[in-house]
Amino acid sequence: MAGGFGGGDAIAGRAEQYEGKITGYFILACIVGSFGGSLFGYDLGVSSGVTAMDDFLIKFFPDVYERKRAHLHETDYCKYDNQVLTLFTSSLYFAGLVSTFAASYVTKRRGRRASIMVGAVSFFLGGAVNAAAANIAMLIVGRVLLGVGIGFGNQAVPLYLSEIAPYKIRGAVNQLFQLTTCLGILVADVINYFTDKIHPWGWRLSLGLAMGPATAIFVGALFLPETPNSLVERGELEEARRVLEKVRGTRKVDAEFEDLKEASEAARAVRGTFRNLLAVRNRPQLIIGALGIPAFQQLSGMNSILFYSPVIFQSLGFGNSAALYSSIITGSMLVVGALVSMLVVDRLGRRFLFIEAGIQMITSMVVVAVILALKFGHGEELSKGVGTVLVVAICLFVVAYGWSWGPLGWLVPSELFPLEMRSAGQSVVVCVNLFWTAAVAQCFLAAMCHLRWGVFILFAALIVVMSIFVVLLLPETKQVPIEEIWMLFDKHWYWKRIVSKDPKYQGHQHHMAAVAAAGVKPEV
């Protein structure tokens, strides 16, 4: 089927002819491919713990350490308000958003697997430099290399998983990326808990262990099959069919293979893929997939909690070990949320999870803000009861994010783009995502210092906006073949008025009307 409006007349009913089963080869490809998410997750978890470790602060940020010591057992929103310290976190994401455009070229010209391997190599080098860091400059260089690795991995892995999966379980398969991201966070939290007790170099071990998953992903990628979509896109038709037959476990792949070829032909007819994102017929994909969802995923406030959960808990009166232990709890909740989402996303749908989680996240943020407004900011130590309520509210927020904006923030954009702009579209997704990740990381500690409990009200208000955005503009994409997603906008109450203004769309509509008037059934 065609990736854009032209050529869509050949798709009617063809998806029902797809055949195949879940094969061992497919499972292996999914497991190895999805582990690209562990790079992103490990860094999220490990950087949040390291920035709260005394030995790390003494070596690189002594002023922050002295401020922390002065308020170790009492509330102080401003303990960690240091822009160089936040640059340690956010520099990775600035590097990632730049590198994703290079990743787009590699992903399109060399394949999804090549981008995953480049990302693994860069992440390995970044982990090595950070582990050996003797000054802040080395820390930042290491973070930049890690960012390049994440830029490539986040660009390629969601595409890889969406393209290799059978359409009926595409949602669950794509969410393996989020699951391994969450597992990476949890593993990093556990490692931080133990390395915090190793003085004075435990932080080096936490940062250096990033080389482990990077090595595993690179070696595993050597045995990965390329996606049939990518092979067809690059003109390797025989190899594409061979891989498709092997992944689906049957030689009866004619219908799916024809759809891939038609999508590829439409893609080759398009020039200037990044510019084509601005075409009227692609306006829904641009607004929803490339700009809206990746920005909102970060503006939910979740990554602020992931980056700084030990810092937040210490700022609110928890001791070192208690803060790291609390971050392990929140990391576990994220894994639980990811597992729940995998089980229900292809049954309940994307919209349901977005909306339900939005309500739960708003409620949790309001509860956190009320507790902070009433109990914190007066230099008093937390009571156990108040601390418990705070942790429970944050966990409810995290688990809701874990089954909604976390995994769906990668799944939905990877579904929306037609083949001719899928790589370019995913690059914009990653760029927008990492821009807002970096911006939130850079601003959060200062915002917490100045807005105090109001920063959580701000996040609650943003989640209200996000939820309205989903309700009004996002069509349901569950169990729709990836090359047919564009047809949903033709029927959407709002988007159909936008896409109908495109000349190619109008030509397609006239053709279909002529076919219907002649009583000719569209070819399938």
3-class secondary structure per residue, 230-277: HHHHCCCHHHHHHHHHHHHCCCCCHHHHHHHHHHHHHHHCCCCHHHHC
Report residues of the chain scoring pLDDT below 50. Answer: 1-13, 74, 507-524
Question: Which of 383, 359, 43, 64 lies closest to 180, judged by CA?
Answer: 43
| pLDDT given at position 157 | 84
Residues 456/312, Cβ–Cβ less than 8 Å: no
What is the residue-wise DSSP string for 6-24?
TTGGG-TTGGGG------H
Compute the radius of gyration of the chain from its Cα atoms.
24
| pLDDT given at position 4 | 33
Q: Which residues contact 182 (CB under 8 A, 6 or more apart)?
A: 41, 331, 334, 335, 337, 338, 402, 406
Residues 440/372, Cβ–Cβ less than 8 Å: no
Question: Which of 437, 371, 369 lies closest to 409, judged by CA?
Answer: 437
| pLDDT given at position 317 | 59
Whole-model pTM: value is: 0.73
| pLDDT given at position 324 | 66
Question: Which of 391, 316, 372, 321 lies closest to 71, judged by CA?
Answer: 316
Question: Which of 52, 10, 8, 7 lies closest to 523, judged by CA?
Answer: 10
Q: Which domains occur in the chain, in start order?
A: 22-224+270-500 (1.20.1250.20)
CA distance 393 to 371: 10
Taking CA atoms, 340 is separated from 51, 93, 138, 333, 404, in Å, by 31, 28, 40, 11, 10
Q: Identify the DSSP state of 4.
A: S
| pLDDT given at position 11 | 39
| pLDDT given at position 519 | 43
Q: Where are the alpha helices (DSSP H) in 249-349?
A: 254-268, 273-276, 283-284, 293-299, 302-315, 320-348
With vertex at residue 266, the alpha carbon angle to CA 261 and CA 271, rounded to the nearest 5 degrees, is: 135
| pLDDT given at position 185 | 84
What is the residue-wise DSSP string for 84-131?
HHHHHHHHHHHHHHHHHHHHHHHHHHT-HHHHHHHHHHHHHHHHHHHH
Residue that has been written with the tokens 């029902």 in this structure:
16
User: What does the block give as tokens for 175?
Assistant: 């969410």
Q: Which residues contact 374 (CB under 8 A, 6 or more apart)?
A: none
| pLDDT given at position 272 | 54
| pLDDT given at position 171 | 81
Instruction: Give the pLDDT confidence of 494-513 residue by residue, as tens digits.
Output: 998 888 887 665 544 444 44
Q: Identify the DSSP state of 133.
A: -
Q: Identify the DSSP state of 78.
A: T
Residues 123/214, Cβ–Cβ less than 8 Å: yes
CA dihedral sign of residues 266, 272, 273, 278:
negative
Helix (H, G, I), strand (E, B) or coil at 280: helix
Instruction: Give the pLDDT confidence of 37-58 residue by residue, as tens digits.
Output: 788 888 877 887 788 788 998 9
Q: Which residues contact 269 (CB under 8 A, 6 or more apart)?
A: 6, 420
| pLDDT given at position 352 | 95
